[in-house]
Structures are given as C-alpha cells and as structure tokens.
Structure 1
C-alpha cells in the first residue's frame, strides 16, 4: 500500500484522492495540521482493534475518554521508565499485559528527505561545520519524520521508546561487528530486479505494511568486537 501511495503522489502531487471520501496528503504541513488539530478524530476502524473487547487508549474514539486514559499513562512513560512502565502502558493502552518482567517471549519524499533511497544515517545529525542550508534540511527532515505521530493522539510512550531503542542500538554497535550472511540466506528481504513497482532494488530492505509492518530478513552474522564483551558481562553481573 505504501508503495502504491508513493507512486500516486509522484504522478498526481502532494494530495491524492484514494476513495470517494478519502484524501491522502504528503506534506509535513499537513501532518501537523491534521494530527495536532483538536477537531480531527480517529476513524471508526480503530474501534475493531481491541483484543480484550474493551476500548483501549489506542482504540478509544471519544476524545474525553481518550484524554482520561492518556492522563493516567503520561506520568509513567518518561525517560526514566524501564520494563515496568512497558507492562503498565501495555495494560492501560492496549488492554492486555506485555509481561516483559517475566517473559522473553515511509517511502520518503525528496523535498523532505534528500536522496531518499540512499542509506545516509548522518542526515539526522548536526556536526561542527554544519552550513545553514544543511541545518535547514535537517530541521525540515525531522519535522516531516513523525513515526509516533503527534498531538493528543501521538504515542504517549515516545520518549521511552526512543530511550530504549537508542540504548539497544548503541550497545549493539559498540559490542558487536556484524555483516550479511553469505550466500542466498543473506539476500532474504532484498529487492528483486524486474519486480513491479518499487521493489526491484538490490540491497534495499523491503517492508510490507498493514497496521504494522512485516518483512523477511535481514539475516546477519554478529561477532564480538575485541574484548568489549567483557564489559557487558561485568555490567550484567552487578
């Protein structure tokens, strides 16, 4: 769906009518105007996604009821939260516990994301010799990137999610070197030349969207970096 929508925007512009009563916008201004607008409510389809049968914070359509639920969740999902907060949020927001204490169990628009198909993680970072134009691009990119949405319907645990993702990523890169698995297994999830639409690029990881995304691969081999792993074991022992 996201690739078909991307193609429609390339052909018809930043506003596309995808149905008799449905418009799809592709600008950062529209994202903020829509999701930060108190007059805009969620669609009725969200009322069917509750696993417990009771409205959760995610599926509640009534704005006052949603506000009450979010008010309960907000204080416990700050940067100081850990796994306990994840369990609490899972129960309050989705209606069922995640039990993390006990169980182990976008295509991008060049206007906002220059070279959108290039792997450029540095696009998000400021640097010492940053020019005014580079800073403007970075600010615009961050404004357009809203993975957790915004406004009163934005994900209440965004700060906690960024904290845990940042820690996990930083520790993975610090303690391990990794590379693609050799052979055919290492190609899992990549684009196939000649495929329809935008799925023909080799070395481009393919995502398939729904309410969330699914994927195949990537298959990677991890190796410890030097003796840094000893620090990890020491910290776990404390």
Structure 2
C-alpha cells in the first residue's frame, strides 16, 4: 500500500510539473513573446497545430482569408508566424533582397540536394534557375509550339468524341492530363501520354500526395523530422519508386549524361509547376465562363472574330491582341490562384539590421508571408471580390487601379516568382481559344461538381480549391457542341 501511494504521489507530481510547464510556456507565448501584440486565434498563438490542422483539412487558404476578415491586415497564425494582406507587405516581403525562404522548405529537401523550389541560398537558387531557364525562354516556347499543338489537337479530338453523345467532361481531368503531356515533352522530349493511356496517370496522384504531405510539414515542421517521415515513405514506397523510375528514364532518354541528383530534382520541380499551374488556370477559366454567360459570349466573339481559321490560333500578335482572353485568364487566376496559401519567408540569417514590413518591425527568426487567395479577395484592391469580372483588368491603369495590378500574385512576384509564367499563359490561351473556335459549351445538366456547404465553400459561383501548397480541384463538368462543320479539321 505504501509503495502504491508513493508511486501515485510521484505520478501526480510529474503530471503537475508537465501541466505547469505547458501553462507557463503558453503564458509566455501569449503575454511575453515578441509577436504578442498581433491579433489572431488563441490556438494559433500557442501552437503550430492551428495552421497544421487546416493544412491537413486542405482549407488553410480559406481560414487565413477569414482571419483577415476578423482580425485585420496582420494576423498571427502560429507562435512564430505573421500573415499580411496588403500590397505594401507583398512588395516588402517578396521584392526584398534581405529576405530568404523559410527554414520550412527544408522539409522537402531530399539527399541534401536543393532544387529551384527548395533553395534558400540565393546563389544556389540563381544557379538552379539558370539550369531550367533554357526550357522556358520565348525562343524555346516558339520551337516547342508544334509539339504543344499536337497535344492540344489530341485534347480537341477527345472533346469532339464526347460531344457526339453529349457526354459531360470533367475539365480538371482533361486539363491536368493535357498539361502533364505538354510539360513532360517540353522537359524531356517525351510525353507521358496520359491523355490517351492510363498507364502513367498515377503520376498526378503521386505528385498530389507529395505536395499535400509537404504542405503539412511546412506548418508542423518537426513532423518531417520524426518517424512519420519514414512511415509515410514506406506506406507509399511502391508509387514513389514507380514515379522515381519513370522520371529517371525520362531524364536518361533526354540527356544521356544527366545522372546527377540535381538534374532529377529540377525535373521533378518542372513537372509539378508546369502541370498544376496550367491545369488550374485552364479549368478555372472554363468554370467561370460556363457560369457567366455574358463573359462567355464576349470571349467567344473575340476569338471567332480575331482569326480566319484555326491554323491562325498560335503564339504571336494575333493571339496577344485577344485582350479579353487574357483578362478572363487573369480573373480566373485571381479568384482561384494555383498556389492559394502563403509562401513563407524569413529574414536572411546573415542580415542583422532591423527588418520592416509594411511599417512593422519583425523580430529576427520569425516567419511571414502573404496568402494569394486572401489578397486576391481583399476588397481594398478588388471591389466585389467574389464576382467574376474580367473587365476589371481592361480598365485604364489609373492610380486607384494600379493597386489591383500590384496585388495580383498568382505567380508570386520578385526573383522567386514562377519561371514558367509565360508558358502557362501561352498554354491556357491556346487551349481556351482553340476550344472556343471549334465548340460551344455549357454546364452539364446534373449535380456533377456541385459545391458542399462547408464553411468558405458555400459560394456556388466560385471554383473551389483544396490547398495542398498547389491545388486540387474537381470540374467543371461541361457538355460540348461542335460549331457547324469546323470539327472536320480535327479528323
């Protein structure tokens, strides 16, 4: 009995000690921490699990937007993190040579080899960006265009086949398969052929899982250093190895001398960035056009009056002069950005001068960022932010309108912005213009792709995204009708 009582006393002591330590640490985070003055949810002030939980739910971009609505333009979303929602902060963070990528990007580094996405060191990033730049230049895009057109033609023939029976098409699926074929041929000279075969379609799911896992670790970083890392690798070993072997083969076929791990990781980055951005931009624009018939009518009229034949729809002045087409894509990217969350940054480790972001002195070691989804729906820059309004991009750039252009961050800004921006615009423009040349379309007469009632997802006129660092989405489901006899070009 005496021994039992003694053990019970020891247990109570240790439980009390742990509880007191937790309470003291929480009190420090709330009352004494350098970020104590910034508003935010109580859980966010004491734990990384606030953002980690919403990263797990894939709705962190929605939660950050709602936090800004409640707390204002600067919100503390974790013990050591601030998220901003102003143009001034956007410039101060992403155009600032004294700022580098956050340590959380280290969770995505494999075999101690950085790629252009994970590199925190500016010299390494510059070297990695230089490595992929030749594939993304205007000259490279021009020489690649015939191959791009072949992939678009395959997509159009599939649309034509579905139109014969009014079969609804999931445009997310079509855009994703098309974008994967394009980016793999651009990068390796050999497409995955996922438009016509299901053999390599596992790649899309494998990429999505890797991004989703990495996004959780961005917000609960220590998980990337625990047993969960090895456990998840074992759980998905087969698909991961299958993807690795496929990528190795593509690299060897492209450049026989390319054996280095650095080449492998740059190739992996190109596949992710080159497919997700185009797929989101394209499927989102199809969604908004199908729900906004006046915008659809204006764009169809512009495309069909700007070209005399489908052969004229190619890169060049005629396509560039389709200003309403570009406005429709930009408005879709504004409302449903391909990377909707915050790209976390921190003060450069070698910089010891005070860092000021939008008037706020940021203590060294803290993380900060801008959610593109939140700033794209900031009424100060985009009046009626949940309305699809391509005309906002065609209005004169008055001083009042300049802030809207400054707040547009679908591809981020500054030296770390998306290197494939021009290629993404070209692909999306060609896909949309060619589709509107050959077909009319409307939403499928069913409940396919309907939104749920979850908080932040109740707006039926919004193309909803799942935040996995990039995005996952579904739909829109559309039915196509050929325009006259033009479809004969596709046979």
**Shorter-chain TM-score range:** 0.7 to 0.9
Q: Deviations over 1:114-165 (max 9, x none)?
A: 1111121222224xxx5xxx74454322221111112121111212222222
CA distance in 1 between counterparts of 2:130 and 2:398 reads: 35
2:447 pairs, out of 180, 184, 192, with 184
- Number of the residue aligned with 2:187: 87
* Structure 1 residue 211 displacement after superposition: 1.0
State whether structure 2 residue 450 is matched by structure 1 residue 206. Answer: no
Question: What's the counterpart of residue 227 of structure 1?
Answer: 485
> Structure 2 length normalisation: TM-score?
0.40
Match of 2:432 in 1: 169
- Aligned equivalents of 1:74 and 1:37: distance in 2? 22
Q: In structure 1, how many angstroms separate the alpha carbons of the residues matched to 2:112 and 2:122?
A: 19
Structure 2 CA distance for partners of 1:50 and 1:31, relative to 1, 3 Å: same
**Greater relative contact order: 1 or 2 (C-alpha under 8 angstroms, separation 6 or more)?**
2
Instruction: Show the counterpart of 2:89.
Output: 30
Question: Which residue of 2 is the match for residue 46 of structure 1?
Answer: 105
> Which structure 1 residue ranges, 5 or more long, are not aligned?
101-105
Query: Residues 174 and 70 (structure 1 numbering): CA distance in 2 closer, same or farther, change over 3 Å?
Result: same
SS at match of 1:223: strand
Does the alignment pair 1:121 with 2:121?
no
Shift of 1:31: 1.1
Aligned to 1:8: 67
Q: Tell me the equivalent position of 1:111.
A: 380
| Root mean square deviation of aligned Cα | 2.8
CA contact (8 A) 1:175 1:224 kept: yes
* Distance in structure 2 (CA, Å) of the matches to 1:125 and 1:225: 28
CA offsets, 1:175-206, max 9 Å, x none? 22111111222xx142x4xx353222223322
Task: List gaps (5 residues or longer) in structure 2.
Answer: 1-59, 145-181, 189-246, 252-262, 275-372
| Off by >6 Å, runs of 4+ in structure 1 | none
Aligned equivalents of 1:176 and 1:197: distance in 2?
36
Name the CA distance, whole Å, in 1 between partners of 2:82 and 2:133: 31
TM-score, normalization: structure 1? 0.78
Which of structures 1 and 2 has the bigger CA Rg? 2
Paired positions, count? 215
Stretch deviating more after TM superposition (77-86 or 41-50): 77-86
Q: In 1, distance between residues paired with 2:413 and 2:488?
A: 41
